[in-house]
Every structure is written in structure tokens, then in C-alpha cells.
Amino acid sequence: MIGKKQFNAEAIAKRTLFLFAITGALILFLIVVFIFKEGLPIFNQINPVDFMLGGEWSPSKDVYGALPFIAATILITAGALMIAVPLGISCSVFLAEIAPKWARELVRPAIELLAGIPSIVYGLFALVVIVNTIEVSFDVPTGESILAGSLILAIMILPIIISISQDSIEAVPRAYKEGSYAMGATDTQTITRIVIPTATPGIVAGIILGMGRAIGETMAVVLVLGNVEKIPTNLLDQGEALTSVILLEMGEAAVGSPHYNALFALSMILFMIVFSLSSISNHIIAKRGLRPG
Amino acid sequence: MSMEKIIVRELNLWYGEKQALEDVNMQIRENRVTALIGPSGCGKSTFIRCLNRMNDRIEGVRITGKVEIDGKNIYDKDVDVVALRKRIGMLFQKPNPFPMSIYDNVAYGPRIHGTGDKKKLREIVEDGIRGAALWDEVSDRLETNALDLSGGQQQRLCIARTLAVKPEIILFDEPCSALDPIATGKIEELIHDLKREYTIVIVTHNMQQAARVSDYTGYFLLGEMIEFGKTKKLFENPHKKETEDYITGRFG
Amino acid sequence: MITANTADRLLKILLWASAFAIILVLFSIMGYVFLMGAGVMNLEFIFTTAKNNWKEGGIITAIEGTLIVVSIAVLFAAPIGIGAAIYLAEFTREGKTTKIIRLAADSLNAIPSIVFGLFGLTLFIHYLKDYTGGASLLSAGLTLSFMILPTIMRTSEVSIRTVPLQEKMGSYALGATKLQTVKNIVIPGALPGIFTGIILSLGRAAGETAPIVFMTALNPITPSSIFRGGNALTTTLYYLTSEGISINRAFGIALTLILIVLTLNYSARFVNNYLTRNQRR
């Protein structure tokens, strides 16, 4: 009655599914190998420090300095965070703590929708509306600027910051808040002294993830920065982001040429920044048992 | 006098470092109801799950000793666990019908074990549902979702599902703990009828239930089986002090 | 002096204002796109081929291209993602391997879309040109499938894990094998969630531009084979905008894209509710 083991089918299925499961890791590995393989050769003709800190980028002269792009990316990202962080935190406090049901049911889908709008549509909107508004209000020859990039990126990273912060705020134990209220604290005191400090690691994870998105964003940024290869010094200056250079110049770079290698080297930089940021925030999120973004 | 269907020898079980069963020996007779009682955490549920190797699925579990069914140790290396579970049905604390129709629930077992013939399947399903004393209540709505049934009906449906696989032994792990007294009465009646064809082991936290339905009772405490014997004798004249304390309510 | 009461009131006003600001931003973007897009939107715009460098005619080639590319992406990513999710949830225990698999998926999810574009360019256009046809709809679809794989993996795993343990135990207790339990109990139970995940990633794939910008053509091409080139809505929108060909028509495409994304989001919700209600778990 009790026969021999016959788990062959299960073993085969398990092995097949394992192959599926490691496909993601395999793709990641291939991506790393490819961009490093194509990017590293540029350092045969220029040392990494000069590449990162060089102020001039002229493929026709075989000069590759990435500083203008790095600077522009840092500036638009910083600008975006300055707008999105306060707005995002206060919106997530609103959703998690004080919003009546109807308001939550209005705001949540709105945020989901913001997250779903394709980046190229944001770019188009920014080019037509934000750039023109800047042009008119600051009376400058063109509104294509760091400011325009920051504004549209801020809108684009709000959903990710809000959703992770909100989870984190909702995870603050009720007992903490009740303890605070029981001692006669006001709403303001409870929110600023108990809720936000307790939720800080999660909020930080959301901000870091948003930062990664901003640095890697391509389509919205390329349409509004003006794409001028110089180091921007103020908010109304034009500039060109790391992602933009890759997008704009890859088509014209001959395969295997130094220009081609230099563009891959830019994507190496991009990859390393974004990979570190995502590792940090995923580490925080996993540690606190929050839902990943 | 009936035969021994299951013989448990020196059974030990550890969850990681923690020992949950210690040197359990037991003889379970064919076509009888054997009840296992004891305070919660005493190991009775862990024990019953050893009888169909349900504990295999839990991480960090280590088992020594033997469980012989018809003389064959089910922990031997050459045992097919799936075939084993076909011979030993199991009912759980909470009724767990699948989210499908009543018919499909009962047909699930025969189908996975290769019964393709529609007419044959229908017979097995009907026999199963009749065997679980549920036929009169559901015969006109076999295609409705099983989750529409009441808790007691769901539990009897799970029994029907088990019968459809034609097991030899049925394990009940506190089958009435989620049910009201009337539904409980029906299940107990059913268990009484089922023992004519099946060997039954039931874990219960309810001593009256053990007294009502079983022929033999084992009393567990802290992973050890303190006493085992005919139900009547164990309840009226226990050997051990611990058993007496538990039965008279001075414990737990 | 600011009393505690005034501070509370100020804070509340601030919080309400921030939520209001976000709604306002959403409405102005959507409103603007609808308004501008409606100006060019008509049957001809949707159903005919573009003429005169996209300045006349319609965008049917881009719609077809996007549909094909997105279908290829899902056709590849869905089986792999669902299989991976089944492996993670049912066939293994948490350990080093699962940690690596999850880390890889999270990292893949964070990689900028332009890097996927570069990767697709090297792999499919340079190395595998003979198999993919170079800059073809197939190359674009495969590149997008890499991007949506992590999402499908995660949403599938989450919904597989919601299948109650008792149901699985019930199946095992009847002598079902693991494969039978996965096929008959786990997958049907997880299906609503898996579907929702797939539909949402369809929307995401349809909205991506940077990964496929090197693989789609600028001039209108009626798709004839997946091994040939074609257009996509997003890349056409980018072309029309960056070259200043027609901002109005770009808004027409933007509206089409938003309608697609909206439809997918709502049908995901609908499908999820419908399937879940039928299961009444």
C-alpha cells in the first residue's frame, strides 16, 4: 500500500522554478557586466578622477569631463527634494493621522494616479506649462532651467515618498500616541515629538528611494533643462543631467569608440549611485517590516 | 477484540532545541475511537500530526522513534508520504473547505488521485457526502460555493471530502472547537457512526466530548503521555494522580 | 504668544493645504493634458497612419507598436515572474539564496530606465542582432520585460502568500502532492492578485520611453513582424516634442497614453474585485 517515493515531478518543477527565480539576478548580473565592460575602457585614456571632475565634455575633441552633468543632476535632485520632502511628509501625516475617510479616499487614488502618469507626459507638461511660467514670472530668455527640472521631479517623486512615509507613520504604535495625549500633549506636540520621530527611519527610506528615482529620471528632465554642457550656478541656469547625455548622444556615438565608452561610464556612475541608494533604503524598509516601494 | 492498527514506539519530537514529545508509546485499535486529551500545549496536537507526517512540513522539526501502521514504520525512508496521507484522512480545528463548489470540494481528492470518469466521480462524491450525513442538506445545491455553508456543515463537508479519498484512518484535530453545541452534537454522532468502517483518533480539549465519543483515551501532559486506557476506566478510576487532577478539574 | 490651540489649528491647516496642493497638481496636469489633447483627438487621429512627418493623419502605427511591444514584454515577464514567485513562496525556505533573489529584484526595480535602454541596445541590437532583428519590436518588448519582471514577481508572491495555510493543509491531508496543491489550490487562490499585478505592469510598460528609445523608428511604420522596427506612443511623443514637430499632436498622444493607463488601472481594480468576489475568500 505504501509505495516507493516518486517525487521526480516535484523535483523537476522545483528546479525549473528555481531557474525562473534567478532570472532577475541573472539579468542584473548581465547589466552590470555589460555596462562595466563597455564603460571601463574609457579609463585607459583618462583617469577616473579627471573624468568625474573635468569641466569640459567635447566628444569631437575627445575630451570627457562629466562634472557639468554630475552637478546638474545633483542640483535638480536637491531642488526636487527640498520641495517634495516637506510636502510629502505633511501629506503623509495628513493621510495617516487627521484625514477624514472621504478625504483619504480622494487623496489616495490621486497619488496612485500621479504615480501612474508616464514620465514623458510629465516632461511634455513641464515643457509647456512650467517652463513658460518660469519664463514669464522671472522675465528670462528661456524657462528651461534647473528650477523647471526640480519642480517636475518633485511632483514625480511625491507618490513614492508619501506611500512609504505613510506606511511608516501608520506603523507607529497607538500606545505611544495615547501615552502622549494622556499626559496632556496637543495634536501638534504628539505629531512633532512622537509620531514623526518614531517614523523617521521609514520616512528616510522613502526619501532615499525618491532620490534614486530623481537621479535616474530621464524623459521629464531632458525636455526642460535646456541641455547645455556647462556647470549650472543658479536655479535659473540651464544644464544637462547625466541621464540626458546618455539619451541624446548614444545615437551618434560609434560602437566601441571612446565617446561610446564614456557614455557607458556615465551609466556606471548612475548605476552605482542608484544601486547604493536602493540598497540603503531597502535595508531600512526590510528592517522595519514595511512594504517595499 | 479488535486488532492494533497503529503502534507508536518511543516517539520523540523536537522543535529546534525544545522537546515537544517525550517517549510516547501507544497502541491504537482498529475500528475504535481513541481520544487524546490534556491541557493546551501538552503535545496532543503535535502527536496526532505525527501520525500522518504533517509535521514534516514544519521547519526545524526532528523526530525519533517509530509509528507503525499495519506493521510498517511510516518514518522509514522508502515511504511515500503522499500515498500515506491518502490512507490517513485529517480534519482540522477550523473547517477549511476550498473556495470552490460543494461538489468540487469532495471531488478534489478523487480527481488528484486519478479518477477521471464522470459517473464514477459522482458516485464517490455522493457516497462521501452521505457518509458525512450532509446529503439531505446539500443534495439540491452541490454547485453552490462551499463557503456559503454554515460552520458545522463546512466541517461535515471536510469530513465528506476526506471520506471520498477512502482512507483507513481518520484523524480529528479538535474538530468542534469552532462550532456551536448543536453542530458539535452532529459531528459526534457522525464520529460514532464512522468507527464501524474507520479507525479514528481525535484530539479534544473537551473532556465530556472524549467521554462521549471515545473507546480509549490518552492523557497528555507536557509532552508525555501520562496514562492510556479504556475511556470508561480512565475517567472513573484513573491510575495516576495527574490524570485524576485534570479530570476532576483541579488542574489547568 | 502662540497658544497650544492656535498651533494645533495652524498645523491642521498646513496638513490640509499639503493634501489640497497635491490634488491641485494632479488636476492641473490631467486637466491640461485633457484640454490640449482633446483638440486633436478624433477618429482620424486614432485610426489612420501619419503623413507628412506626423504633422497630418493619425497615430495608429504607434498604438499598434505599443500594444505589440507591451504584449511581448508581458508574455515573457509573466511566466518567469509568476514561476519565480511560486518558487519563493512555496518551494524554498528563507535563506541566502532567497535573499540574493530578492535583493536582485529590488535592485533591478531601482535601475534607471535609461540604463535598461543601454543594456537592451548592447544585448539585443549589437550582440543578438541575428536573432532579434536589431532595432525591432521584439528587442523593445524584451527590454521592457526586464523592467516589469520585479513588479510581477513581487505582486504574485504577495498574493500567493495570502492563500490561507488551512486550505493548503486540507489539500495535503487528502494526499495531494505539492504540485497538485500548487496547481489546484494556490494558483487559483492567488489569481486575482496575480492578474492585478500583470495589468498594472502592462500600464507601466506602455508608459516607458527611455528603455525603448533606441529601438523604435522615427518615421511611421505599420508593424509587419516582431523582427522589424516599429513605433511606440511614448517614443513618438518624445520625437514630436523634442524636435518641435507638433506640440498639439504630442498632447494628443499624451492623452491617449493617460487614457490607456487609466483604463488599465481601473480594469485592474475591477478584475481584482470581480475575481475575489467570485471566490469569496
Q: Is the ipTM of this complex over 0.90?
A: yes
CB B85 within 8 A of CB B53: yes
Residue A235 has pLDDT above 80, yes or no: yes
**Whether residue A48 has pLDDT greater than 80:** yes
Residue C18 sits at the chain A interface (C-beta within 8 Å): yes
B252 has pLDDT over 60: no
- pLDDT reading at A290 higher than 70: no
Is 0.95 topped by the overall pTM?
no
Residue A92: name the closest of A160, A163, A189 by CA.
A163
Residues A90 and A193 in one domain: yes
Q: Are residues A126 and A197 in the same domain?
A: yes
Alpha-carbon distance B85 to nearest alpha carbon in chain A (angstroms): 10
CB contact under 8 A, B72 and A2: yes
Counting the structural domains of chain A, the total is 2
Do both A8 and A61 map to the same domain? no
Which residues, including other chains, have CB under 8 Å from residue A166's CB and lie 6 or more apart? A92, A95, A96
- Mark whether A14 and A154 lie in a shared domain: no
What is residue B238's three-state secondary structure? coil
Whether residue A11 lies within 8 A of chain B, CB to CB, comes out as no
Q: What was the pLDDT predicted at A293?
A: 41
Nearest-by-Cβ selection for A5 from B69, B70, B78: B78
Amino acid at A166: Q
Interface test with B, best of C174, C178, C280 (most B CBs within 10 A): C174
When CB atoms are compared, the residue of B92, B145, B165 closest to C166 is: B92
A7 part of a folded domain: yes
Identify whether residues A72 and A132 lie together within a single domain.
Answer: yes
Amino acid A129: pLDDT: 95
Helix (H) or strand (E) holding C60: helix C60-86
User: Is there a single domain that holds both residue A96 and residue A32?
Assistant: no
Predicted local confidence at residue C190, as pLDDT: 93
pLDDT score at B3 = 85
CATH of residue A97's domain is 1.10.3720.10
Banded pLDDT at B1 (limits 50, 70, 90): low
Residue A119 lies in a domain: yes
The residue-averaged pLDDT of B189-212 equals 92
Of A211-215, A234-238, C3-7, C262-266, the range with the highest mean pLDDT is A211-215
- Rounded to whole angstroms, the Cα distance separating C145 from C167 reads 33
On whether any CB of chain A is under 8 Å from the CB of C39, the answer is no
Same-domain pairing of A31 and A98: no
Q: Which member of B69, B74, B80 has the closest CB to residue A3?
A: B80
Chain C: closest CA distance from residue B190 (Å): 19
Chain B residues lying within 8 Å of C94, measured CB to CB = none
Closest residue in C to B90 (Cα) is C173
Q: Are residues A33 and A53 in the same domain?
A: no
Angle at A93 between CA A92 and CA A94, to 5 degrees: 85
Instruction: Give the C-alpha separation, A251 to C137, whole Å.
Output: 18
Q: Nearest Cβ partner of C279 from B89, B99, B112?
A: B99
In this structure, is residue A277 part of a structural domain? yes
List alpha helices for C208-246, DSSP H. 233-242
H-helix segments, C89-136: 96-110, 113-120, 129-132
Task: List the single residue in A with minimal CA-CA distance to B77.
Answer: A5
Contacts by A12-15 with C-beta closer than 8 Å and gap 24+? Answer: A13/C91, A13/C179, A14/C87, A14/C91
Distance from CA of B53 to the nearest CA of C (A): 10
Interfacial C residues in 172-191 facing A (CB < 8 Å): 177-179
**Same structural domain, A116 and A232:** yes
Of A13-27, A28-42, A134-148, B50-64, the least confident: B50-64
Can you give the pLDDT at residue C234?
96
pLDDT above 70 covers what percent of chain A?
96
| Distance of residue C10 Cα from the nearest chain A Cα, in angstroms | 9
Contact call for C279 and B52, based on CB within 8 A: no
Contact list, B113 vs chain C (CB under 8 Å): 175
Q: Give a yes or no: residue A208 inside a domain.
A: yes
Residues of B in contact with C172 (CB under 8 A): 54, 57, 85
Q: Which of B89, B97, B148 sits opposite C173 (nearest CB)?
A: B89
Question: Average pLDDT for residues B6-34, to the nearest whole number?
Answer: 93
Q: Which residues have C-beta within 8 Å of that of residue B242, sequence separation ≥ 6?
A: B219, B221, B226, B227, B251
**Does the beta carbon of C171 lie under 8 angstroms from any beta carbon of chain B?**
yes
Chain A residues whose CB is inside 8 A of the C237 CB are 120-121, 124
For residues B173-184, give the mean pLDDT: 90
Residue A10 sits at the chain B interface (C-beta within 8 Å): no
Residues from chain B contacting residue A5 (CB–CB below 8 Å): 78-80
Q: For residue A58, what are the domain limits? A: 48-287
Chain B contact for C164, CB < 8 A?
Answer: yes
The reply to whether A195 falls in a domain is yes
CB contact C191 to B (< 8 Å)? no
Q: Which amino acid is it at A251?
A: G
**Residues A167 and A112 grouped into a single domain:** yes
Nearest-CB residue to C106 (from A31, A117, A292): A292
Chains that touch A (3 or more CB pairs under 8 A): B, C
Asked if residue A287 has pLDDT above 80, the reply is: no
If asked whether residues A141 and A280 sit together in one domain, one would say yes
What is the identity of the amino acid at A241? A
Alpha carbon distance B18, B45 (integer Å): 16
Q: What is the mean pLDDT of chain A?
A: 90
One digit per residue, the tens of pLDDT, for chain C of length 281 reads: 567 678 888 999 999 999 999 999 999 999 999 999 999 999 999 999 988 889 888 899 999 999 999 999 999 999 999 999 999 999 988 889 999 999 999 999 999 999 999 999 999 998 999 998 888 999 999 999 999 999 999 999 999 999 999 899 999 999 898 899 999 999 999 999 999 999 999 999 999 999 999 999 888 988 888 999 899 999 999 999 999 899 999 999 999 999 999 999 888 888 888 877 766 54
Nearest to C172 among B85, B97, B158 (CB): B85
For residues A74 and A68, give the distance between their C-alpha atoms in angstroms, rounded to a whole number: 10
Tell me whether residue A293 is in a domain: no
Query: A292 lies in a domain?
Result: no
Q: Is residue A69 part of a domain?
A: yes
Same domain for A15 and A117, yes or no, is: no
Q: How confident is the model at residue B115 (pLDDT cuts 50, 70, 90)?
A: confident
- The radius of gyration computed from the CA coordinates of chain B, to the nearest angstrom, equals 18
Q: How far apart are the first and last CA of chain B?
A: 35
